[in-house]
């Protein structure tokens, strides 16, 4: 690691730190300030609602909100599934790609609906342009908007004075998509295509390279999808190798832009929360906890990677990494993409040193709360915040309260549910897969690394991350179904409890803070929050990690491989 790497990492973090608060307050205004945007935009918006016969004035309670969200997601799932099943008969398929297998179509439809973008397939050899654009790209937008809507609904529930309503799902969805994701994506797609990311409807090119061998160069409307893939923390690559592909991520600048875009909205949403709470300090507290976890993870990961592999004579391994980007950028990306539930990669995580791989995995296992997915990171983090508030409240001898609202058994029930379900999916899925022969036959490696592959796959699915450890052939009936279920539980097993919390918190009266109230914007709270996250995550996954990446690391140090 040289001085430029350090400078680049510092600049990346600094840029996010600078933009976050501004974009965060802008996002707040998108949802809550009727006078923010020019008249004609609101007219178009209202015209849209009229066309869909949506009453935008209606404020929903949490149940209505949940139902609207679920119906919308189900329709999205159906569209993506059907597009894949009929793409051979539909236009914009210059390569004449066949229909997708039912289980892969199911997996992909779930994957893009849940903002996971786990890809058991390879884009260029599976999906027609129509499926990519009408199915996947659209889901990239609306799945991110769904996450943001849920986060915004939760913010309202936590901060609104006593009431029942948490907003209107349809207007939240519209505003998040049209006023936030779309403009940012257009901007990013333009810059990316200037940098050389391909954007065309042309069929794949046949080119004879300098080595005299004929190659097929895949084409397609990539730039538009890549932009939202990063901004919406989706991560699903247009091409199979994702952002390691030169046409998806050609230059160091495109790499840096994409890196920033991964965390941009998750970071900003923390400050949006601050606007709702009418307290910047509350936002900074959550931000600090996330930032500490990010930086510490990054540090460990960089250290492990740069320590080199004794089996290779102590040199730093470049296997599975792009020479265009180098070690620092590969590690930075791996930490960013697993912290945010993005899942795009610019290096193969399977090739990371065992500890770097463990950090990537652990980031996901914690529940994607280190900034996390668009919206999902914030609401996931608030689960931990409520848990911490509960414990610290007890320890100061008061019924725990957050932002002046009491946390009682109903909220705690939902917090536990939201924390438990994804973890249960990871443990059960990986546990069963490590003994089922049908699951084991997909492994590329044996020993602890094989276990890491399985563990990573289920973590990625349940955490709605979508990155793959590589090495595991996941495009089988077993994995397509098992991981599909994990993605569903990991998404809605958190969203529904969150909306329930939003609803029940909205009904509570706000208590005034006094000196007996434990302040949730203090350094001590941040420390405690980090402690709770690490202890809960650690205690849940320590045994499993010990048998996977940890033992692999120790063996590597001893010079043993598999």
Partner 1 sequence: MKESIFSQNLLKEAVRESFFKLNPRLLAKNPVMFITFVGASLTTMTLIFAKFDGFNLQITLWLWFTVLFANFSEALAEGRGKAQAASLRNTKVSTKARLLKGNEEALVPADQLRKDDLVVCEANDVIPNDGEIVEGIATVDESAITGESAPVVRESGGDRSAVTGGTRVISDRIVIRITAEPGHSFIDRMIHLVEGAKRQKTPNEIALSIVLSGLSLIFVLAVGTLKFFADYSQTSSGQDLSHLVTVPVLVALLVCLIPTTIGGLLSAIGISGMDRLIRKNVIATSGRAVEAAGDIDVLLLDKTGTITLGNRMAHQFLPAVGINERDLAEKAQLASLCDETPEGRSIVVLAKEKFSLRAKEYSPEHLHFVPFTAQTRFSGVDISQGNNVISIRKGAVDAIEKLIHSKNGSFPSDLKEKAEMVARNGGTPLVVSENNKVLGVIHLKDVVKGGIRERFSELRKMGIRTIMITGDNPLTAAAIAAEAGVDDFMAEATPEDKLKRIREEQAGGHLVAMTGDGTNDAPALAQSDVGVAMNTGTQAAREAGNMVDLDSNPTKLIEIVETGKQLLMTRGALTTFSIANDVAKYFAILPALFATLYTVSQGGEGPLAKFNIMGLHSPQSAILSAVVFNALVIVALVPLALRGVTYRPVGAIQLLRRNLLIYGLGGLIAPFIGIKIIDLVLVFGGLV
The residue ranges that bind partner 1 (CB under 8 A) are 387, 390-399, 404, 407-409, 412-413, 416-417, 419-420, 423-424, 427-428, 430-432, 434-435, 446-448, 450-451, 509-512, 514-519, 522, 524, 528, 531, 535-536, 538-544, 546-548, 550-551, 554-555, 557-558, 560, 562
The answer to whether residues 138 and 65 touch, using CB atoms and an 8 Å cutoff, is no
Whether the CA torsion 3, 4, 8, 9 is positive or negative: it is: negative
Task: Output the smallest distance, CB 412 to partner 1, in A.
Answer: 4
Task: Output the smallest distance, CB 528 to partner 1, in A.
Answer: 7
Q: Which two tokens stand for residue 296?
A: 């510490």
Complex with partner 1: residue 38 or 559, whichever CB lies closer = 559
Task: Output the smallest distance, CB 540 to partner 1, in A.
Answer: 5
Complex with partner 1: residue 324 or 406, whichever CB lies closer = 406
Complex with partner 1: residue 106 or 384, whichever CB lies closer = 384
Task: Output the smallest distance, CB 522 to partner 1, in A.
Answer: 6
Assign 3-class secondary structure to 510-540.
CCCCCCCCCCCCCHHHHHHHHHHHHHHHHHH
Task: Output the smallest distance, CB 555 to partner 1, in A.
Answer: 5
Q: Which helix (H) or strand (E) holds 258?
A: helix 252-277
Task: Output the smallest distance, CB 525 to partner 1, in A.
Answer: 9
Integer angstrom CA distances of residue 47 from 52, 53, 54, 460, 483: 9, 10, 10, 40, 40
The C-alpha angle 472, 473, 475, rounded to 5 degrees, equals 135
Q: Which two tokens stand for residue 163?
A: 């009431």
Residue with tokens 């400078």: 7
Instruction: Compute the distance between CA of residue 112 and CA of residue 118 in angstroms, rounded to an integer.
Output: 8
Instruction: Compute the distance between CA of residue 65 and CA of residue 151 in angstroms, rounded to an integer.
Output: 12
Task: Output the smallest distance, CB 391 to partner 1, in A.
Answer: 6
3-class secondary-structure state, position 401: strand
Complex with partner 1: residue 98 or 161, whichever CB lies closer = 161
Complex with partner 1: residue 252 or 447, whichever CB lies closer = 447
Complex with partner 1: residue 45 or 408, whichever CB lies closer = 408
The answer to whether residues 436 and 478 touch, using CB atoms and an 8 Å cutoff, is yes
Complex with partner 1: residue 403 or 502, whichever CB lies closer = 403
Complex with partner 1: residue 174 or 384, whichever CB lies closer = 384
Task: Output the smallest distance, CB 467 to partner 1, in A.
Answer: 22
Phi and psi angles of residue 536, each rounded to the nearest 5 degrees, phi first? -60, -50
Contacts of 534 (CB under 8 A, 6+ apart): none
Complex with partner 1: residue 218 or 354, whichever CB lies closer = 354
Task: Output the smallest distance, CB 503 to partner 1, in A.
Answer: 17
Contacts of 409 (CB under 8 A, 6+ apart): none
Task: Output the smallest distance, CB 395 to partner 1, in A.
Answer: 4
The answer to whether residues 106 and 84 touch, using CB atoms and an 8 Å cutoff, is no
DSSP-assigned states of every residue in 40-83: HHHHHHHHHHHHTT--TTPPB-HHHHHHHHHHHHHHHHHHHHHH
3-class secondary-structure state, position 314: coil
Q: Which two tokens stand for residue 85?
A: 């099943």
Residue with tokens 């994607």: 368
Task: Output the smallest distance, CB 504 to partner 1, in A.
Answer: 12
Complex with partner 1: residue 260 or 369, whichever CB lies closer = 369
The answer to whether residues 342 and 230 touch, using CB atoms and an 8 Å cutoff, is yes
3-class secondary-structure state, position 122: coil
CB atoms within 10 A of CB 317: 15
Instruction: Compute the distance between CA of residue 374 and CA of residue 367 in angstroms, rounded to an integer.
Output: 13
Complex with partner 1: residue 17 or 391, whichever CB lies closer = 391
Task: Output the smallest distance, CB 161 to partner 1, in A.
Answer: 10
The closest of 28, 517, 12, 532 to 280, measured between CA atoms, is: 28
Instruction: Compute the distance between CA of residue 543 and CA of residue 20 in angstroms, rounded to an integer.
Output: 37
Complex with partner 1: residue 473 or 558, whichever CB lies closer = 558
The closest of 251, 329, 347 to 11, measured between CA atoms, is: 329
Complex with partner 1: residue 120 or 450, whichever CB lies closer = 450
Instruction: Compute the distance between CA of residue 275 and CA of residue 195 in angstroms, rounded to an integer.
Output: 35
Task: Output the smallest distance, CB 294 to partner 1, in A.
Answer: 23
């Amino acid at each position: 690691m040289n001085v430029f790497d350090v400078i680049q990492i510092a600049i990346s973090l600094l840029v996010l730190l600078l933009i976050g608060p501004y974009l965060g307050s802008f996002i707040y205004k998108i949802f809550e300030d009727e006078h923010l945007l020019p008249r004609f935009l609101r007219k178009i918006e209202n015209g849209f609602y009229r066309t869909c016969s949506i009453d935008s004035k209606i404020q929903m309670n949490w149940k209505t909100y949940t139902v609207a969200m679920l119906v919308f997601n189900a329709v999205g799932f159906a569209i993506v599934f059907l597009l894949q099943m009929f793409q051979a008969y539909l236009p914009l398929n210059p390569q004449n790609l066949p229909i997708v297998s039912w289980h892969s179509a199911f997996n992909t439809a779930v994957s893009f609906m849940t903002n996971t973008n786990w890809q058991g397939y390879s884009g260029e050899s599976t999906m027609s342009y129509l499926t990519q654009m009408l199915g996947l790209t659209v889901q990239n937008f609306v799945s991110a908007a769904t996450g943001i809507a849920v986060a915004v609904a939760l913010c309202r529930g936590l901060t609104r004075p006593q009431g029942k309503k948490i907003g209107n799902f349809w207007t939240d969805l519209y505003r998040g998509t049209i006023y936030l994701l779309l403009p940012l994506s257009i901007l990013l797609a333009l810059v990316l295509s200037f940098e050389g990311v391909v954007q065309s409807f042309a069929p794949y090119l046949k080119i004879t390279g300098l080595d005299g061998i004929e190659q097929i160069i895949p084409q397609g409307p990539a730039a538009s999808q890549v932009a939202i893939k990063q901004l919406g923390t989706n991560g699903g690559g247009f091409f199979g190798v994702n952002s390691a592909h030169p046409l998806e991520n050609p230059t160091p600048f495109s790499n840096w832009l994409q890196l920033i875009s991964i965390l941009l909205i998750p970071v900003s949403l923390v400050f949006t929360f601050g606007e709702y709470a009418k307290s910047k300090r509350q936002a900074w507290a959550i931000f600090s906890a996330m930032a500490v976890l990010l930086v510490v993870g990054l540090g460990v990961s960089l250290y492990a990677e740069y320590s080199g592999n004794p089996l290779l004579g102590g040199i730093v391994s470049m296997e599975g990494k792009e020479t265009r980007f180098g070690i620092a950028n590969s590690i930075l990306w791996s930490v960013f993409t697993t912290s945010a539930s993005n899942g795009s990669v610019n290096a193969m995580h399977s090739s990371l040193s065992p500890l770097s791989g463990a950090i990537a995995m652990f980031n996901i296992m914690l529940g994607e709360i280190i900034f996390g997915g668009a919206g999902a990171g914030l609401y996931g983090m608030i689960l931990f915040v409520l848990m911490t508030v509960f414990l610290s409240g007890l320890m100061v001898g008061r019924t725990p309260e957050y932002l002046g609202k009491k946390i009682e058994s109903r909220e705690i029930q939902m917090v536990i549910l939201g924390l438990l379900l994804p973890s249960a999916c990871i443990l059960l899925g990986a546990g069963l897969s490590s003994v089922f022969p049908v699951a084991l036959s997909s492994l590329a490696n044996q020993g602890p690394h094989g276990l890491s592959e399985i563990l990573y796959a289920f973590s990625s699915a349940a955490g709605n991350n979508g990155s793959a450890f590589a090495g595991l052939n996941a495009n089988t009936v077993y994995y397509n179904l098992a991981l599909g279920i994990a993605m569903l539980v990991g998404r809605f097993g958190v969203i529904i409890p969150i909306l329930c919390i939003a609803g029940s918190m909205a009904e509570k009266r706000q208590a005034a803070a006094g000196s007996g109230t434990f302040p949730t914007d203090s350094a001590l709270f941040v420390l405690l929050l980090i402690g709770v996250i690490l202890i809960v995550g650690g205690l849940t996954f320590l045994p499993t990690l010990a048998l996977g990446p940890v033992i692999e690391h120790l063996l590597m140090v001893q010079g043993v491989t598999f």
